[in-house]
Structures are given as structure tokens and as C-alpha cells.
Structure 1
């Protein structure tokens, strides 16, 4: 039996174990004693470490922040870091998000690609290397984190209590290899004065606001004008209803990750735009349309910029109304050649006027490894040796991964260009054939990193 046949023979077992992880709702919960991210992430970590133990690995739980499975001996550590926490489920699922469902090569469930499935791909790569007697001159450690989606506090804890990695990767992005990640700028745009009664939409700050419900006072002819404006948009669905002198506007856009907002349709942004087109006069409608709008390039706040590694992008994730104030989360992914000082200078004159204000809440520096670095070469070679694909090259992405939280690692797989795995959206899936190939790629990657 060759190695591909051996991996294929293990695929059903791998899927069974993936089902065990998918069945756990590991969204960020309410912290309690010994469970810093709530019940779900702690339970997922327990199950993940249990699977690793069943496969014969020694495991360590680091206070339910994260844990790891390990093999080999030595002072140096080759690391793989994945996460067991998930984003909120949201609506419009065809399949039960917490029950693994297979249809041919597709396997559906929340976390299948982001990032429970890739953790198992790496774990089975380690198992096969061990079973084949590959000599390990370093330790190989698979870290399972519990807070990647909401701040990566799990890796901050790891850095405090565990050893630094010599090199490694996080299977939380795309093949062939990610040698850079854009910086991140988080903002909140707030109304000062608005006639909008309420506006609420979106589930997470790092994904496009794809549904939005807005209530405004009814005005003569407004309903008809709104329906006319909405009918000429790219919304998947819309509805305007009148009751008790108020109009309720429902808008359904298209979901997209904050790193690729051009793939989505911002339901909140379209609503603001259509309110203006319908003649609804409002200070915050004017502010939103001039500063944020439906464009994804940051031009409204003076941040339009591109370098050889990619464009700046802007995404409105959540819109909510509290005590008469509308707030909108803004997630901006910043090209690797811009620093924080540059960013603040570019947008400082566009953050506030009489109609609204924008506050910078977080700045995350970009990550960049030269294309010729030993780690990039080791991982890229593993990919090309297994797939034969030399057309696709190492790239820079807008997404953020554990590579920004742990030293000496970069993102590596498992997604492939041209496939929408629906991460952070409804009906997230992974391909069984892709899982099998990723196991083989990760086996080669680990061997290459052992030689660095």
C-alpha cells in the first residue's frame, strides 16, 4: 500500500473524529473558573486532546487557553498551530452546522475548514510520520488554540507558559504558502444625530454585514422610492413593510470574509445608499455614505492604497443600535508596506465631522517573510513536490492568523484557489479529497522543517 492509499484508508476515521469536533459549539462563551473562553472552547479542547491521545500522542492542556499534542525529542520544536474555536453560525444553513454531513466529496459543518478539519489533517500527518519511523531530530508539536477568532488570547498565554517554536506553520489559510499578512485596523463609526429608529445587522466584525434590518419613520412616498432604489442593487433579497407610521427595511446581501470584502454585498451599506437615493434626509446616512459607503477600498476615509503585495480593503461587519446611537464596526486590512504612523496620518482629517465620528480601536502590524527565507522555501517545496503545481506562488493575504501571535511561523494551507469553502458563512464545507492531499503535503512540510 503506497502512502496515498494509506491516507485514503484513514479518511473515514479522520471524518469520524472531525464529526466529534464539529458537534461541539465552540463559539466564544462566558468565562468561568478554569474556562477562560467559556464552556464550548474548553470542551472542544478536551475532545481534541482526547483524539490525539487515542492516536498515541502525549498531550498537555495549558489551562484551557490552548493545548498541544507532541512527538519526538530535542530542544528545538517544529510547530503547527490550529484553532478549535469557531465564529457564530448565523442563519440560512441548509445543513445542521453542528452535525457533520457528507455529500459525495463535500463534508459540511461549522469549523470543517476553519479550523477543526486542518487540525486533524496535521495530526494525521504526524501519526503517519511516526508510524513510518521517520527520524525526528526535533520535537513536533501540534498546538490547539481556543481563541483565534476573537483575539488570539490563547496564543498570548502560550507565549507566557510554553517554549518558543523554532519554525512552523498554521493551517488556517491557503496553499501554496503565505509569506505575508496584511496589517489590521479596527474602527467603530458612530452616529451623532440620526432619525433612524434602529438599525441592526451582521454577526461578527471580521465578515461582511450580509443581513440588515432598519426601521425609519414613514414619509410621504418613501416606501415606493425605497423599493425602487433597492430593486436596482445587488441584494439577494429585500422587503419594505409599513406599520404604525414606521417603515421596516430588510436587506440580504452576500457574505464575505473581511479580507476579501469585494466578494460580498454589504447589506447595511446598500441600505444607507438607498435611503439617500430615496430622499431620506439624515445626518448619519450622509456620514456613512461619504466616509464608508459600499466601496471596499477605504477611499472615503482617505486610506485608498496599494502596494505590490495587494490593496487596502475595508469591510463593515456589524451594525447595531443602542440608546439611539448607531455604531458600525469597520475592519480594514492594511498592505504590508504601511505602518501605523502612515495610517494615522492618512485618515486623521476624516475621522469626525458634525454628522458622525470614527474611532480607531485596534491596530495590528503586518507580517512579512522574504520569499527566499528557509521556512517559505521549505513549505513551498512540500506543496510543489506533492501537487506538481509550480504556477501558483507564495502570496500575501488580507486575513490574520496565528502567524502574527507566534514567532517563526507562517500560514500554510489548506484552502485552494477557486474554491469558496464558505468559511464564516452558511454551509461551510471541506473536501475529503482535499483533506487527504493536505495530509500528504503536511507530512512533507514537517520533514522539510526538520531539516532547517
Structure 2
């Protein structure tokens, strides 16, 4: 039996174990003693470590911040870092997000691709390597984190209490290989004066605002003008109702990850745009359309920029109204050649006028490994040797991974280019055939990393 056949015989077992993890709602919860990210992430970590123990690995729980499964001996550590926490469910699911559902090659559930499935792919790659008798001149450690989606404080704790990795990867992005990650910048826009009664939409800051409900005062003929304007958009659904002197606008756009907002349709942005086109004159409508808009390129705040590794992107994730003030979260992915000081200089003159203001929050540095580095070459070779794909080259992405939190690792798979796995949106899925292939790729990757 060759290795592909061995992996295939383990496929049902791997999917069953994935079901155990998907069944746990592991989004960020209320911190409790001994459970820094709440009960859900702690339970998912315990289950993940239990699966590893069942497969014969030594496991360590690092105070429920994270834990790891390990094999081999030696001073150096080949590290693999994945996460078991998830983003909120959100959206209109066809399937129960917390019950693994298989239809042919597709397996649906929250976390299947981001990132519970890839954690298991790496774990089974370790198991098969160990069982094949490959000499392990280094330790191989699979780290399971609990806070990647909301700050990666799990890896801060790992760095405080555990050993540094010699090299490795995080299975939380794309194949063939990621040698750079854009910097991350957060902003929040606030209204100063507005006639908008309320506006609320979106569920996370790092995904395109896919639904939005807006209430504004009635004006003669406004309902009809709004409907005409909304009919010309790319919204999936819209509805305009008028009652008791108020107009309510419901807009349903298209969700997308904040690193690729151009793939989505921002329901809030389209609503702002249509209100202006319909003749609704409002200070904050004007501010939003001038500074944020629907273009995703940051031009409105002076941040339109592109280098040879990619473009700057802007995503409005959440819109909410509190005490009469509308706020909008802004998630920006900054090209790797820009520094924090550069970004501030570029946008500082475009952050406030009489109609609204924007506050800068966190600015995170980018990550970049040269294409010719041994780490990049080792992982890329594993991908090419298994798939035969030489068309796709190592790349820079807008997403942020554990590679920014742990030394000497980069993101490596498992998503294929051109496929939308619906991560951070409804009906997230993973393909069984791709899971099996990823196990083989990760086996080759570990062997290559043991050799450098």
C-alpha cells in the first residue's frame, strides 16, 4: 500500500475527529479562571489534545491559552501552529454550523477550513511520518492555539512559557506558500452630525459588512428614489419600507474576508452610496462616501498604494449606532514595503472634517521572508513535489496568521488558489480530497524542515 492509499484509509477517521472539533462552539467567550478565552476555546483545546493522545502523541496544555502534541527528540523544534478558535457564525447557513455535514467531497461546518481541519491534517501527517519510521533528528511540535481570530494572545503566552521554534509553518492560509503577510491597520470612523436614526450591520471587523439595516426620516419621494438606486446595485437582496414617519432600508450584500474585500459587497457602503444618490442630504453620509466608500482601495483616506507584492485594501466590517453616534470599523491590510510611520503620514490629513472623524487604532508590522530563503524553498518544494504544480509561486497575502506571532515560521496551505471556502462566512467547507492531499504535502514539508 502506497502512502496515498494509507492516507485514504484514514480519511473517515480524520473526518470523524474533525466532527468532534466542529461540534464545539469555540468562538471567544467570557474569560474564566483557568480559561482565558472562555469555555468554548478551552473545550476545543481539550478535545484537540485528547485526539492527539488517542493517536499516541505526548501532549501539553499551556494553561488553556494553547497546547501542543509532540514527537521526536533533540534540541531543535520543527513547529506547526494551527488554531481551534473560530469567528462568530453569522450569515444564512444552509447547514448546521456546529454539526459536520458531508455532501460528496464537501464537508460543511464552522472551522472546517479555518482552522480545525488543517490542524488535523498536520496531526495525521505527523502520525504517518512517525509510523513510517522516518528518523526524527528534531522534535516535531503541533501547537493548537485558542485566540488566533481575536488577537493571538495564545501565542504571546506560548512565547512566555515555551521554547522557541527552529523553523516551521502555520496551516492557515494558501498553497503553494506564503513568504509575506501585509501589515494590519485598524481605524474607526465616527459621525459628528447625522439625521440617520440608526444604522447597524456586520458581525466581525475582519469581514465585509454583509447585512445592514438603516432607519432614516421620511422625505417626500425618498422611498421610491431609494428603491430605484438600490435596484442598480450588486446587493443580493434589499427592502425599503415606510412607516410612522420613518424609512427602513435592509440591505444584504456579499460576505468576504477583510484581506480580500473586493470579493464581497459591502451592504453598509452600498446603503450610504444609495442614500446620497437618492438625494438624502446628510453630513455623515457625505463623510462616509468621501472617506470610505465602496472601492476598497483606501483612496478616500489617502492610502491608495501598491507595491510589487500587492495592493493596500480597506474593509468596513461593522456599523453600529450608540447614543446617536454612528461608528464604522475599518480593517486595512498594508503592503509589506510600507512602515507604520509611512502609513500615518499618508493619511493624517484625511482623517477629519466638519462631517466626521476617523481614529487610528493598531498598526501592525508586516512579515516578509525572501523568496530564496531555506524555509520558503523547503515548503514550496514539498508542495511542488506532491502536486506537480509549478504555475503558482510563493506569494504575499493580506491575511494575518500565527507567522507574525511566532519566530521562524510562515503560512503554508491548505487552501487552493481560486477556491472560495467561505471562511468567515456562511457554509464554510473543506474538501475531503484536498484534506488527503494536504496530509501528504505536510508529510513532505516536515521531512524537508528536518533536513535544514
Measured against the shorter chain, the TM-score band is: over 0.9
Secondary structure, aligned partner of 1:189: strand
Give distance in 2, aligned partners of 1:9 and 1:282.
Answer: 63
Match of 1:271 in 2: 271
Secondary structure, aligned partner of 1:239: strand
Secondary structure, aligned partner of 2:370: coil
Which runs of no fewer than 5 residues in structure 2 stay unpaired? none
Counting only pairs closer than 5 Å after superposition, residues 378-389 of structure 1 correspond to structure 2 as: 378-389=378-389
Counting only pairs closer than 5 Å after superposition, residues 64-79 of structure 1 correspond to structure 2 as: 64-79=64-79
Is 1:345–2:345 an aligned residue pair?
A: yes
Match of 1:32 in 2: 32
Shift of 1:53: 0.2
1:370-394 CA distance string (max 9 Å, x none): 0000000000000000001111100
Q: How many residues are aligned here?
A: 452
Match of 2:238 in 1: 238
Is 1:220–2:216 an aligned residue pair?
A: no
1:40-93 CA distance string (max 9 Å, x none): 000000000000000000100000000000000111100000000000001310
Counting only pairs closer than 5 Å after superposition, residues 247-286 of structure 1 correspond to structure 2 as: 247-286=247-286
Match of 1:184 in 2: 184
1:84-119 CA distance string (max 9 Å, x none): 000000131000000000000000000000000000
Give distance in 2, aligned partners of 1:143 and 1:63.
Answer: 13
Give distance in 1, aligned partners of 2:22 and 2:232.
Answer: 39
Secondary structure, aligned partner of 1:449: helix
Counting only pairs closer than 5 Å after superposition, residues 260-339 of structure 1 correspond to structure 2 as: 260-339=260-339
Give distance in 2, aligned partners of 1:407 and 1:194.
Answer: 47
Give distance in 1, aligned partners of 2:28 and 2:218.
Answer: 39
Is 1:209–2:209 an aligned residue pair?
A: yes
Match of 2:173 in 1: 173
Give distance in 2, aligned partners of 1:248 and 1:152.
Answer: 38
Secondary structure, aligned partner of 1:318: strand
Give distance in 2, aligned partners of 1:171 and 1:266.
Answer: 28
Match of 1:132 in 2: 132
Give distance in 2, aligned partners of 1:37 and 1:170.
Answer: 21
Match of 2:13 in 1: 13
Match of 1:97 in 2: 97
Secondary structure, aligned partner of 1:321: strand
Give distance in 2, aligned partners of 1:190 and 1:147.
Answer: 28
Secondary structure, aligned partner of 1:208: coil
Which runs of no fewer than 5 residues in structure 1 stay unpaired? none
Match of 1:112 in 2: 112
What is the aligned-residue RMSD (CA, Å)? 0.4
Give distance in 2, aligned partners of 1:150 and 1:91.
Answer: 19
Give distance in 1, aligned partners of 2:419 and 2:342.
Answer: 35
Match of 2:63 in 1: 63
Match of 1:360 in 2: 360
Give distance in 2, aligned partners of 1:294 and 1:392.
Answer: 30
Secondary structure, aligned partner of 1:199: strand
Give distance in 1, aligned partners of 2:39 and 2:280.
Answer: 45
Secondary structure, aligned partner of 1:187: strand
Shift of 1:242: 1.1
Give distance in 1, aligned partners of 2:130 and 2:69.
Answer: 13
Give distance in 1, aligned partners of 2:144 and 2:319.
Answer: 32
Counting only pairs closer than 5 Å after superposition, residues 192-203 of structure 1 correspond to structure 2 as: 192-203=192-203
Give distance in 1, aligned partners of 2:242 and 2:107.
Answer: 42
Is 1:416–2:416 an aligned residue pair?
A: yes
Match of 1:22 in 2: 22
1:262-316 CA distance string (max 9 Å, x none): 1010000000000001111111000000000011100000000000000000000
Shift of 1:34: 0.6
Give distance in 2, aligned partners of 1:321 and 1:95.
Answer: 31
* TM-score normalized by the length of structure 1: 1.00
Give distance in 1, aligned partners of 2:396 and 2:13.
Answer: 34
Secondary structure, aligned partner of 1:247: strand
